[in-house]
Structure 1
Amino acid sequence: MRGEGLRRVRATLRWAHSDLRTHRGEALFLVLATAGIVASLLLATALFGYATNPWQRVFTQARGAHVWIHTVPSADARRLARLDGVDSVAGPYRTEAATVSVRGTRASVELRGTPGLPAVGRPLLTAGHWLDPAEPHGVVLESGLARSLLAEPGDTLTLPGTTRTLTVEGVAESAEPHYSPGEQPGLVWAPPSAVRAFGGQVIGLRLDDPADTDYVVQRAVTALGSGAVGEVSTWQQARSAAQGDNRLLGQVLGLFGLGALIAAGLAVHGAIATRIRGHLRDLSVLKAIGFTPGQVVRVFLLQHLAYALLGSVAAAALTEALGRRVPGRLGDAVGVWQGLPGHTPALFLIPVGAVLFIGLTTGLAAWRAGRVPPVPVPRPAAPAGGRLTGLTRRALGLRLPAALVLGCHRAFAGRGRSLATVARLTLPLVLIVVALSAWTTIDRFHDSPGHMGLPTALTVRYDSDVDPAGVRALAARDPGVAAAYPGVEEAALVPGQTGTVALRGIGTRDEPYPYALAEGRAASGPDEAVAGQGLLDLLHARVGDWVRITVGDRPQILHIVGRSIEPQNAGRVVTTSLDALRENNPGLSPAFCELRLRPGADPHRVAAALTSAGRGHLDVHPVTNPADGLSPLRAVVAGLIAVLALIGLVELLTAIGGSVREGERDVLALRAIGMSPRQITAITVTATSCTALAAAVAATALGVPLARLLIDAEGSSSGIGAGIARSPSPGLLLLLGTAAVLGAAGLAALPAARAARRRMADTLSAVA
């Protein structure tokens, strides 16, 4: 019995080795596809960890405050420490809004008078040292602000328009929102004596339960009075801002990785099913020499598990060894991920999960091999393609090329099997269409920012003593400036007093701001406004509703007549004209100016010219484009397309092998009616091309709306709003379909020609 078992093992190994030699290309493609899929999933996991854990690490180590509330100077902020649910507080600290400059680079900042290193919201020093009482002009910069200013300990900051100077003593990380030009001022910790203009105060609340954030904010605003609260920021907003585009990259990689895994599993399933149909005689021989159905199943299962395991291990090893060397954000993400606690389990579980999934799809197909009887069943006498349909006979009667007609007939005659082949080939093509749509959408942000919520290229901020009309006149004299829109932005409390949003007044009724509208119409009448998706979601409102927000102690009631694509502030923005805001506050003065440039104008040249003309009183910076942070997505998309193309190639090779094998039974009949080997080859090539054409058409029909749905859903969840998705150009889609069809025809030509020129004896043995 033991010798019999060894003989079976040796026979199994010999059969597996022979099969591997026969299908080397297919095995290589399966290994490479699995490696690409597992690498994508590992990189997605790394990006998710990179997006969340750095901020979480800083928040935990700094004992970050869950809520930061800015109030007027006269508010008694200390009473908030006695609120239910508040564990401890940071401050209150005196604040001053200022502008600092170093080596010609300016930034808006918040000077925060901090007497000592706080226990809550404690900055984590990365360079230099903390504030020294002996240095009354020493400050510590938040790390994002320091990077923007290219400042380091020892540098001297000036405050334009004054004679004051500050010395950088240190740089520190903080869990609060980082500096963002035009959106979020940079944080500067300073001795209380350095905060001269007492513009307000800020207090941080650390809560017993972070889930009670909205409730505590509401109670805090009620205790102080809405007129005393200027701005509220929460830990959720800070975390979302810190994650930024990294989470989106992780979602893209994860989505395509899972889709590619499913496509690969189906491709393996189809490959095994096709090979089983072509190896019925070999399987019968294995059964005849004593192999049990379970052993036959294990032959196929273990063989393909070995391919999947080899690809998974290779992907894990390469990601671990070389991942951190990838330039840009992906390399940084892998480096951070490798130091996180969940790194080792993920590095093991993701490849194992991929192998198990491929093993499941393999097992379902291999189960059929175990059911093959030990005595070969004679093949049916009917042609593989089945009887000729009426449409096929009419086409032949019209004297259309017989090879073309019979090829189309063979492609779609066996409906169930043909549809399964088309479906398996369609899936990777659908994902490629979605990937191309993501690429096109990113290009749209760069090429046509005005259609994506970014009609202006530069923002000009100026000191309070500068005449706004003079700034507009200065900008208008520059040949690169097409229009200048005065504007003001205020923090407003939403109903329920659980958070703040941005209320913007930009442009005038005579020269309205060019919104990028996705729904409704532009605001033109009194009290009319447009809102971003994030604000509509926060207020549970929609276009056509009236909303009430509070700026200080002044209520502002606005009619939302449109939804704009709003890339800034997570879409929590309501925008109206400057004239509409002045109706409620006549003394309101513009605080900045948005510049729309002429086509071809260089933003950097215009910014440099205006900064020089402003003589130190103007802060000119480019408008942040969210697509700038998505540049690594191009390389990701290119890599994913390569992996998906590889999976499609495996499926094409499977379909070609099955078509050639099925066509062997028709060779004698086709020769008997006088068809040449070239015509017989053309039948197989046409059948394969028709299959690829059907898959390309189906992929286009399904992929374009699916891509719009996914991209717009991501836009809505990020607050930008639906309406940003852009489909690939018809030419690009036509190129994809043409490449699929021509690739299928080229791959099918050689094996089809070999089969058509086989010797008559070989053909007789194949159909026997």
Structure 2
Amino acid sequence: MRAAARWAQAHLRAHRPAAVLIVLATAGITISLLLATALFAYATDPWQRAFTQSSGAHVWIHTRAGTAAGSLAGLDEVRATSGPFRTVRTTASLQPGGAKATLELRGTAKRPATAAPQIVAGRWLDADTDAGATKGIVLDSSVARAMWAKPGDSLVLSGIAAHLRVVGVADTAEVGFRAGESPGVAWVLPHTLAASDAGGDQRGRTIGLQLTDPADTDYVVQRAVTRLGADQITDVSTWRQAKADAEGDNQLLGRLLGLFGLGALLAAALAVGGAISTRVRGHLRDIAILKAIGFTPGQVVRMFLALHLGFALLGVALGALLTQALGTLVPGRIGEATALWRQLPEHAWLPWVISGGVVVFIGSATCLAAWRAGRVPPVPVARAATATGGRASGLTRRALGLRVPPALVLGWRSAFHRPLRSSAAVARLAVPLLLITIALGTWTTLDRFTSHPENVGLPAALTARSDTLGERELGQLLASQPRTTAYPGAEVQALIPGQTGTITLRGLGTEAQPYPFAVVEGRAAHGPDEAIAGQGLLDLLDAHVGDWVRMTVAGHPHVLHIVGRNIETADAGRVVSTTLDTLRDDDTAGAAPAGSPPPRPDFYDLVLHDGADPGAVRDALTKASAGRLEVREIPNPADQLSAVRAVSLALIAVLILIGLAELATTVGATVRDRSRDLLALKAVGLTPRQITGVIVSATAFVTLAAAVAGTALGLLASEWLINLQGRTSGWGTGIAQQPAPAILLLVIALAVTIAATASVLPAARAARRRLADSASDLL
């Protein structure tokens, strides 16, 4: 036991920098995996918690006012219902002069038992307190955040003469408010709803269905459509949509952390295994002596395993402690996710499982190398005195004949004259560089969203709408702005074939002024009945570019020819877009009730000219319209992923630590191998400086091969992974952006420079060794 302890102590003194790098890298890996798990919990568990606490509904059916929605409670698959509620679609504005939002008012005398809103601020409606002149309203938290509304604020609602006071804010498990896409939910007393003078097309009913088996969601929706009639249903939302909406971009951030955490774990395991193998080859005499004095093969194996498992345990403990102590202090969603994760039941055991998994994985990678140490014979075998590999190749002789510096020629030969060993070293160094390239690709793709949003489906920076300005007056106002181009648009909800869900049918731009969609497959829509679709819609309908698709709007069919696919970041890509002319032609051809005028644009998307500032344009339009025009900035997904940049830097730092640890192993192996050739190198006339150059160039060539292979594979993997994320999120492929060649060349140059610099001092020491010392390395 004392001998093992003394050997471990001497080993640590000899390899102190590499040991520190391995510990720090393991700590970084542990932090990455723990934060990834916390972000996944943050992305999904808040919705699950709200759904469980509120006894949420799996399906919400929105119908016309006269529909017998209550009959759906009799379906065999329905366990309980919330409602049906009488509803009114209205527009609310915060007073004085605040933000506006579209609301679905639900009239209810008491808080429902199923899908019960969970009050997070203020209180619920009270029939006595809120029945007077000052009427109360409870807002869903998503629309309250969008309007910056809080209990005590006053709202003005179109169609209701009296102001309404916000008395409470509640969390629900329904699809949240999104400006221009889905209205916010609000609750009022029945007599407040009855006071609205909204027309019949703005009135309706809403019922929530809680199912015995959530897997029956699509079947129940189909049965509901069959029972009520497709022309009576205006919208359908399910728990799957609400969950996906709640996950948002946190899931992408969690996937990124998890991917790099697992990749870094693999790189660290390879680095540790390579380090042990190299040290076994470099300490064959020491191991033989240990066996000669009585150490069994099992004791040698356990000694190596114990030492490197100690490194892993120390690194894992350091990473877990840092995450526990400082995780909640990280600004942004990472800190919020860590704080929330601590409140969940699985936090009591999941960090232990993750930490233990890291230790087991690294330990498994060290077993093979440690097993090789146990097989070293007690009597060392003499090695060949010519480690250089025998007769020089023709290429080597020609290079020397061309007066290429001998250090470079011999360094190249030294780096690759053992193909298997050289390939293993290149592969271990290439893994961190591959992951660094993927991180750079992620960063570059986010920069593309920010600097060139028109290339990723976001050509418009602002959207404008008004309930008071006429269509002609609004068009003239927007056309008077020299820094923008306005495209009229309208959106309706449509039922998909099979009537199991809803999609967004959008008319945007005109045939004379087509909207600049980012079409990545097929072509833009020009003729009548032509449309382009997002990836989410194509996946939902199992359709492809070139197919004809049928959808139902208010009971009337629309048949469109999909001629292209665009990058669509809204509504998980479940959007089919055509021109406003086509949408109007379908309405006048019979999709709208007889005698009704063609629909006016619901909004205008504003594409800014180069150099125009969105804030300045918004202020100018608001001032020119005397406050009658509502102008909003269109959200950019990159704004919600700002934490990815900091995460990428942290992950690159962890990968650099792993790369440095592997580089220390490579340098040590090169120096050891070349040390046995000192007699031969000096015999042929090489000076100590040239011998140093041989060792340095050998290390640089191995690193160059790893850097080129890692960056090349990283480019392919980065594009594939980012486009895969785009496809699964519904945005579609074509969003990936590769790093600039100059950045990749800089990464390669830095890797080779660091490798060469790190090997200079060990190489110089080896070159200055006396010939007698070198002869001892023959064993």
TM-score (norm 2): 0.96
1:547 to 546, 549, 552: 549
Q: Which amino acid aligns with 1:129?
A: R
* Contact 1:386–1:413 (Cα < 8 Å) also in 2: no
- 1:702 and 2:713 are equivalent in the alignment: yes
Matches within 5 A, 1:200-599: 200-463=204-467, 465-481=468-484, 483-586=485-588, 587-599=598-610
Per the TM alignment, residue 36 of structure 1 is displaced from its structure 2 partner at its CA by: 0.4
Per the TM alignment, residue 736 of structure 1 is displaced from its structure 2 partner at its CA by: 0.6
Per the TM alignment, residue 163 of structure 1 is displaced from its structure 2 partner at its CA by: 4.4
1:93 to 85, 89, 96: 85
Per the TM alignment, residue 639 of structure 1 is displaced from its structure 2 partner at its CA by: 0.6
Corresponding residue for residue 621 of structure 2:
610
100-109 or 119-128: which moved more?
100-109
Per the TM alignment, residue 247 of structure 1 is displaced from its structure 2 partner at its CA by: 1.0
Per the TM alignment, residue 287 of structure 1 is displaced from its structure 2 partner at its CA by: 0.5
Corresponding residue for residue 157 of structure 1:
155
Q: Distance in 1 between matches of 2:160 and 2:362?
A: 68
Per the TM alignment, residue 386 of structure 1 is displaced from its structure 2 partner at its CA by: 4.8
1:129 to 123, 131, 145: 123
Q: Distance in 1 between matches of 2:389 and 2:367?
A: 28
Per the TM alignment, residue 181 of structure 1 is displaced from its structure 2 partner at its CA by: 2.1
Q: Distance in 2 between matches of 1:441 and 1:746?
A: 33
- 1:16 and 2:8 are equivalent in the alignment: yes
Corresponding residue for residue 190 of structure 2:
192
Corresponding residue for residue 84 of structure 1:
76
Q: Distance in 2 between matches of 1:596 and 1:753?
A: 63
Tell me, what secondary structure is at the counterpart of 2:677?
A: helix
- What is the CA deviation profile of residues 203-249 of structure 1, one whole-angstrom value per residue up to 9, with x for unaligned ones? 11111110000000000011111111111000000000001011111
Q: Distance in 2 between matches of 1:477 and 1:556?
A: 35
- What is the CA deviation profile of residues 323-366 of structure 1, one whole-angstrom value per residue up to 9, with x for unaligned ones? 11111100000001011111121110111111111111111111
Q: Distance in 1 between matches of 2:472 and 2:610?
A: 24
Q: Distance in 2 between matches of 1:93 and 1:604?
A: 40
Per the TM alignment, residue 385 of structure 1 is displaced from its structure 2 partner at its CA by: 4.6
Corresponding residue for residue 120 of structure 1:
114
TM-score (norm 1): 0.97
Q: Distance in 2 between matches of 1:667 and 1:217?
A: 80
Q: Distance in 2 between matches of 1:337 and 1:167?
A: 35
Q: Distance in 2 between matches of 1:425 and 1:524?
A: 52
Q: Which amino acid aligns with 1:325?
A: L
- What is the CA deviation profile of residues 101-122 of structure 1, one whole-angstrom value per residue up to 9, with x for unaligned ones? 2242222222221221011111
Q: Which amino acid aligns with 1:646?
A: L
Q: Which amino acid aligns with 2:475?
A: R
Q: Which amino acid aligns with 1:169?
A: V
Note closer, same or farther for the CA distance 1:283–1:24 as it changes in structure 2 (3 Å cut). same
Tell me, what secondary structure is at the counterpart of 2:46?
A: helix
Q: Distance in 1 between matches of 2:64 and 2:381?
A: 90
Per the TM alignment, residue 605 of structure 1 is displaced from its structure 2 partner at its CA by: 1.9
Corresponding residue for residue 731 of structure 1:
742
Corresponding residue for residue 4 of structure 1:
none
Per the TM alignment, residue 757 of structure 1 is displaced from its structure 2 partner at its CA by: 1.1
Tell me, what secondary structure is at the counterpart of 2:357?
A: helix
Q: Distance in 1 between matches of 2:451 and 2:644?
A: 16
* Contact 2:386–2:677 (Cα < 8 Å) also in 1: no
Q: Distance in 2 between matches of 1:294 and 1:310?
A: 24
Unaligned runs of at least 5 residues, structure 1? 1-8
Tell me, what secondary structure is at the counterpart of 1:361?
A: helix
Q: Distance in 1 between matches of 2:238 and 2:765?
A: 70
Tell me, what secondary structure is at the counterpart of 1:342?
A: helix
Unaligned runs of at least 5 residues, structure 2? 589-597
Tell me, what secondary structure is at the counterpart of 2:89?
A: strand
* Contact 2:506–2:576 (Cα < 8 Å) also in 1: yes
Tell me, what secondary structure is at the counterpart of 1:55?
A: helix
Q: Which amino acid aligns with 1:718?
A: S
Q: Distance in 2 between matches of 1:304 and 1:386?
A: 36
Q: Distance in 1 between matches of 2:393 and 2:241?
A: 64
Q: Which amino acid aligns with 2:123?
A: H
Q: Which amino acid aligns with 2:649?
A: A
* Contact 1:123–1:172 (Cα < 8 Å) also in 2: yes
* Contact 2:384–2:778 (Cα < 8 Å) also in 1: no
* Contact 1:161–1:617 (Cα < 8 Å) also in 2: no
Q: Distance in 2 between matches of 1:115 and 1:558?
A: 44
Corresponding residue for residue 5 of structure 1:
none
103-112 or 425-434: which moved more?
103-112
* Contact 1:456–1:596 (Cα < 8 Å) also in 2: yes
183-192 or 629-638: which moved more?
183-192
Note closer, same or farther for the CA distance 1:436–1:386 as it changes in structure 2 (3 Å cut). farther
- 1:55 and 2:47 are equivalent in the alignment: yes
Q: Distance in 2 between matches of 1:139 and 1:625?
A: 31
